[in-house]
Amino acid sequence: MPLWLELVIRVGGVLVAFLTLPLLVGQAEHKVMAHMQGRLGPMYAGGFHGWAQLVADGVKFVQKEDITPREADRTVFRLAPAVALVPYLLVLLVIPLGPDDLVGQPLDIGLFFVLAVMGVGVVAVLMSAWASANKYSLLGGLRGAAQLLGYELPLVLAAASVAMAAGTLSLSGIVEAWQPWWLLWQAPAMVVFFLAGLAEIRRPPFDMPVADSELVFGYMTEYTGLRFAFFLLAEYVGIVVIAALTTVLFLGGWQGPFADAQLGWLWTLLKVFAVSFLIIWIRVSYPRLREDQLQRLCWLVLVPVSLAQLVLTAAVRVAL
C-alpha cells in the first residue's frame, strides 16, 4: 500500500472517531442522566427514545446567530474554540485502538506527546476569558487556569508511574507490557490520573470555571451558535480522550480475557465506554467542589499520593 494512501486511511479513521464517539457519549450522557434523575427528557426526536435529539441540538446551534461582543478582542475570541478542540484531535492520532499498529500515528514518545498537547487546553480557556471583555468570563478563566495548572502535576506524575513500570513512553508499548496484577499495583495512580483528568476537562464536580450559579457560564458566557457548540464538543471529546488514556495506561487497552487479538479494538472500545459511563455517573452523583476544596484535593491528596506511587514503582522496578 502506498504511504500516502495509508496516511489518508489512518487520518480518516481518526477523523471519523473524532466526529462520532463524542456524539455517542453525549447522547449516552443525556439518556443516562435522565434515567438516574428520574426524568424523561425529550423523547420524540427521531422516534425511538428520542435518539435524534442530539442531532436536533446540532441543527439548532447551526441556525443560531454568531455574536461577537463589541468590546471583545475579535481575533482571539473567534480562535479560542478551535484552540480548545484541535489538541484533542491531535491526541486521538496517537492513542492505539488495537495491536499491530492500529493507531493513527504510532510514536515512541506517545505519552510525552499526549501530555504536552493536552496542556494547551489552559490557553483556550484564558483566550476565551480575556477576549470576551466580560467580568464573569474573566473570573471563570482565572479559576480555570488555576485548576488546570494545579491538576496538571498529579496527571503527569500518575502517567509517569505507569510509564516507569512499563519502561517505555510508547502507548502501544505500555499496553503490551501491561499485566493484570497492575490493576492493584497501579490502582492509586489510576485513581489520581482519572480524577486529575476530570479536572483537566472541567467536568463536574470540577466545573468551577463554568459554575452557572455564580458565573453565568464562566469563560463560555459570551459564546453563541457554532462557537459555543465547539466548546461543548471539546468537552465530550475530552471525555473520550480521558477514558481512552485511562484504558490504555491502566486497564490494558486491547487486552481482554481471550487471546484473540483480532477483537482487540472491541475490548478497547468497551473499556472506553465503560469509563465514559463512570464519568457521567460522577457528574450526576456529586455536587460541585468549592474552590478551596478543589485546590485542597489537588495539593494535599492527589499530589502526595502520586508521588508515593512513583516512589513505589521505582522501588519495585529496582527490585525486579
Instruction: Annotate 240-308 with DSSP letters as a single string.
Output: HHHHHHHHHHHS-TT--SS--GGGHHHHHHHHHHHHHHHHHHHHHHSPPPPHHHHHHHIIIIIHHHHHH
What local confidence, expressed as pLDDT, does residue 245 receive?
A: 95
CA-closest candidate to residue 148, choices 94, 84, 86: 84
Is omega for the bond preceding 205 within 30 degrees of 0, making it cis?
Answer: yes
pLDDT tens for each residue of the chain, 320 residues long: 677 777 788 888 888 888 888 888 888 888 888 888 877 777 777 777 777 777 887 788 888 888 888 888 888 998 999 898 989 989 999 999 888 777 878 888 889 999 999 888 888 888 998 898 888 888 888 888 888 888 999 999 999 999 999 989 999 999 998 888 888 889 999 999 999 999 999 888 998 888 877 778 888 888 888 888 888 888 899 999 999 999 999 998 888 776 565 677 888 899 999 999 999 999 888 888 888 899 999 999 999 999 999 999 999 888 87
Three-class SS state of 102? strand
What local confidence, expressed as pLDDT, does residue 64 receive?
A: 82
What local confidence, expressed as pLDDT, does residue 259 receive?
A: 58
CA-closest candidate to residue 171, choices 238, 221, 99, 122: 99
Domain containing residue 36: 3-319
To the nearest 10 degrees (0 to 180), the angle between helices 110-118 and 74-94 is 160
In angstroms, the CA 297 to CA 30 distance is: 28
Place of cell 503527569: 156
What local confidence, expressed as pLDDT, does residue 247 receive?
A: 94
CB within 8 Å of 170: residues ≥ 6 apart: 106, 107, 108, 109, 110, 111
What local confidence, expressed as pLDDT, does residue 12 receive?
A: 86
Give the chain's domain count: 1
